[in-house]
Amino acid sequence: MRILLTSAITLAVALAGCDRPKSPDAVAHDVAAAEQKASNELSKSEKDASKDVGSAADQVGDKLTDLNNVAAKDAEKIAAAKADGDRKVALAQCNAYAGDAQKKCKDQADADYAAAKANAKADAVAAKQ
């Protein structure tokens, strides 16, 4: 019985520590890393979009609609990459909080991400019409 009680207490303590705040230095490091990664991913998306539009312009010729569709799709990819980067940075910042505040912060980051993705999709659909 004593082993079972000790195991239960150990498990409870371990689970309670899962959403503890990180130190300010650790949060700053995580945020900086997330910002750098987000910047790199956004740059890559922009570079890929530039190639796509250039390639489409060469192939399409007089078909302006096709070129607009490629540009709209690329704009959506760039917006999605930005939203993803913003989410990663926000989640890294949430590690500064503990407990319910951390959960609310992460939920808000996820909601902002979903809204940004939906806006990017809506903008792309509108641009294609």
Give per-residue pLDDT as tens, 22-32.
888 888 899 99
Q: What are the residue ranges spanned by the domains of the chain?
A: 21-128
Q: What is the DSSP letter of 95?
A: T
Q: What is the pLDDT of residue 2?
A: 52
Q: pTM of the full predicted structure?
A: 0.68
Residue 56's identity, in one-letter code, is A
Q: What is the reported pLDDT for 11?
A: 45
Closest CA to 70 of 79, 81, 60, 80: 60
Is residue 22 helix, strand or coil? coil
